[in-house]
A and B are shown apart, each in its own frame.
Chain A
Amino acid sequence: MKNRIIGILSVLATLLLEYGCVKDNKFASTPQGNFEALWTILDHNYCFFDLKKETFNLDWDSVYVQYKAQIHPDMTERELFDVLGSMVNELRDGHVNLITPFATSFYDSFYMDYEPNFSHDFLARSERYLAKDCYSTGGMCYKIFPDGIGYIYYGDFSNVLSDRQIMEILHYFKDCHSLIIDIRGNGGGNGDFAKTLPGFFTDKETLVGYIRHKTGPGRNDFSESQSITVKPFNGTGVWLRPVVVLTNRECFSAANDFANNMRYMPYTTLIGQPTGGGGGFPFTKELPNGWEIRLSTAPTFDREMNPVEQGISPKILVKTGTEDYITHGVDNIIEYARSVLFAAYLLGYE
């Protein structure tokens, strides 16, 4: 009996030792440890290495060597942030951010290296656009132009509207023959909304793209592609008339997805400049010192299986700029869209 009890206690002790410990991060909370942790997290989870190599000739292993040489044990937190922030910007991805209590790194060249083709300040101050006869709800500003075209400016998908709000807006446009949705300057927000809002503009379920996710730490460990479809709101859709979506390089992430999804809706055309991309859904991970790294882990594709990470080109490329605003008092992209829609109206939507 005594031996049995000792045997049972031994087994229990082994179990408790085996499972009673929670291991902490395998990297130390030192500049070197945090560097190694960051590089490894990105190496195991980032989803666009092949695309970035193809587009920018990025070699992630060379990045390791290059930045490891800049790490030394007595560097300050801000010095470490500067080095690590530069390293993550090598990925040229606006979804990759190093988040610390004192600063957040952000790659903004996807739009800063291009002409803005948009001025919210101009639109907000111009009576021709948003300064007069304009309503605002849930982050959407909307009005009806004299030529019978409804206009919506939606600059941030973090402001999510309810179905009722959208229905109220579309009801206000009931006598309009067509609609402009201006998402220039929209840096994204809620990805759900990029999928549900297009459902108001179609009467049938439509394939708009695919998504994959990482299935392991290998750089090419991906799941099978899963289809993304847009379902018509209430089964029938609401607005089945011409729609133009205006885009520029600042359209990123959920706004990029929205542009992609909308271009497959019937009666919809994209006009303006290419979007900024951001086609990878971001995950958040942590470094040993508590800093967070947000990174793209799940790539999305259009329905031809082209990655949308680098942006989407509109059907009609149109530019606008300071000269249009100051000299003519117009936004050339909006005016072009109005002319196209009005001509289509006169021609019976041909």
Chain B
Amino acid sequence: MLSVLPVAAERSVDTVMELPVNADRWNSKATFRTQTSTSLGAGQVRLLDQYLSDNMYQGVAINFNREITLGLKRHSNMWSYFYYSLTYAPTYDYSKSSITHYLMFHFDYTHYFKCFQNARFSILAGPGVYFDFGGLYKPSNSNNPAQLKSNLSLSASLQASYRFRIKNYPMSLRYNMNIAMLGVMFAPDYGMLYYEWFMLDQDRYAGSFAWWGNSWAMIHKFSIDFYTSRKVQLRLSYTAGFDGYSMNDLESRLNSHIISLGIILRRAYLAVQK
């Protein structure tokens, strides 16, 4: 029986061996194949949240993100993809007189299926889970000082990648799109007070059914991977996130544009047959 182990636990379990890998092709004996990218980035956040203000706010964002791709040799047409990121931005309105803090944790998981592949080009697509949790905090507001941002949805993803070489250096271009399709999200009633939530325990207005008719949440990632050594590559990526909703006579839009630079570690593991 094959012991299927979570990625985070692989190194500490005796039955899993780490194998050297080729930068271009993963070892054919490998049972697990993982590619981990850890990046730091910066960019811009623009937001409008009518629960807090009718004015647009924008500011410089800092971002940490991590991507993990996990493949199984047994199912060479399928991949598991995990992405999570944490973004913070202090944002200001046009007059610079007021600040709104933006903090957002994002996680998505996608189960990819191979749709098309040739020597250079591949397209993957699949369903997944899209999760956002964070908020906006505007200290100068009285009974509407903050806005919780939370979204848990089923999602659809698409990934296209193209491999090429410049001189003898292998590189790959990748585009990844993840769109929340159907789920639940937090959306306050038009004039709902935080006093009502926290002091009167009246939270019946908080949860809303989210679908394309009232909300949207999507992430687009463009990246280019540079080969630097047998095990390590660099990844330069641009990530655009678009979140928003229009319900309860309120509109919310959160757009982020992040450029990040990270390190990719590629590993292949052999899970011992028992």
A residues neighboring B (CB under 8 Å): 8, 12, 15-16, 19-27, 29, 37, 41, 45, 47, 101, 191-192, 195, 211, 213-217, 221, 223, 226, 228, 281-286, 288-292, 294, 297-298
Assess whether B77 is interfacial by the CB under 8 Å rule. no
Is the CB–CB distance between B190 and A221 below 8 Å?
yes
Of B96, B140, B191, B242, the residue contacting A292 (CB under 8 A) is B140
Is the CB–CB distance between B253 and A23 below 8 Å?
yes
A230 nearest CB across to chain B (Å): 11
A-B pairs with beta carbons under 8 A, tally: 124
Expressed in whole angstroms, the Cα–Cα distance for A26 and B141 within the complex equals 21
Mostly, the A contact residues are mixed
User: Interface 1/0s, chain B 14-47, versus A by CB < 8 A?
Assistant: 0000000000000000000000000000000011
Chain B 172-222 residues near chain A, CB threshold 8 A: 177, 189-193, 195-196, 199-200, 202, 205, 216, 218, 220
Is the CB–CB distance between B199 and A191 below 8 Å?
yes
A26, closest chain B residue (CB): B54
Mostly, the B contact residues are loop
Beyond known contacts A8-B158, A25-B54, A284-B141: 18 more, CB 8 A cutoff: A25-B56, A29-B95, A101-B97, A191-B143, A211-B193, A213-B191, A215-B189, A215-B248, A223-B205, A226-B202, A283-B141, A284-B138, A285-B53, A286-B55, A288-B55, A289-B95, A290-B55, A292-B98
Expressed in whole angstroms, the Cα–Cα distance for A298 and B96 within the complex equals 29
Residues of A within 8 A of B46 (CB): 22
Residues of B in contact with A, size category: 35 or more
15 A-B pairs whose Cβ atoms sit less than 8 Å apart in the complex: A15-B218, A24-B94, A211-B196, A213-B189, A217-B190, A217-B249, A282-B143, A283-B191, A285-B53, A286-B98, A290-B55, A292-B98, A292-B140, A297-B143, A297-B191
A35 nearest CB across to chain B (Å): 14
Residues of A within 8 A of B143 (CB): 191, 281-284, 297-298
Of A19, A25, A226, A283, the residue contacting B144 (CB under 8 A) is A283
Expressed in whole angstroms, the Cα–Cα distance for A15 and B219 within the complex equals 11
Residues of B within 8 A of A221 (CB): 190
Is the CB–CB distance between B249 and A216 below 8 Å?
yes
Assess whether B236 is interfacial by the CB under 8 Å rule. no
B273 nearest CB across to chain A (Å): 41
Residues of B within 8 A of A101 (CB): 97
Of B48, B177, B196, B220, the residue contacting A22 (CB under 8 A) is B48
Most chain A C-beta atoms within 10 Å of own C-beta, residue among B48, B54, B191, B196: B191
Expressed in whole angstroms, the Cα–Cα distance for A23 and B53 within the complex equals 12
Residues of B within 8 A of A223 (CB): 189, 192, 205
Q: A29-B94, A290-B55, A290-B94 are in contact. Are A281 and B195 (CB under 8 A)?
A: yes
Expressed in whole angstroms, the Cα–Cα distance for A179 and B202 within the complex equals 34
Assess whether B255 is interfacial by the CB under 8 Å rule. yes
Expressed in whole angstroms, the Cα–Cα distance for A291 and B177 within the complex equals 39
Residues of A within 8 A of B141 (CB): 283-284
Assess whether B93 is interfacial by the CB under 8 Å rule. yes
Expressed in whole angstroms, the Cα–Cα distance for A322 and B208 within the complex equals 58
Assess whether B60 is interfacial by the CB under 8 Å rule. no
Chain B 231-259 residues near chain A, CB threshold 8 A: 240, 242, 244, 248-249, 253, 255
Of B142, B191, B255, the residue contacting A45 (CB under 8 A) is B191
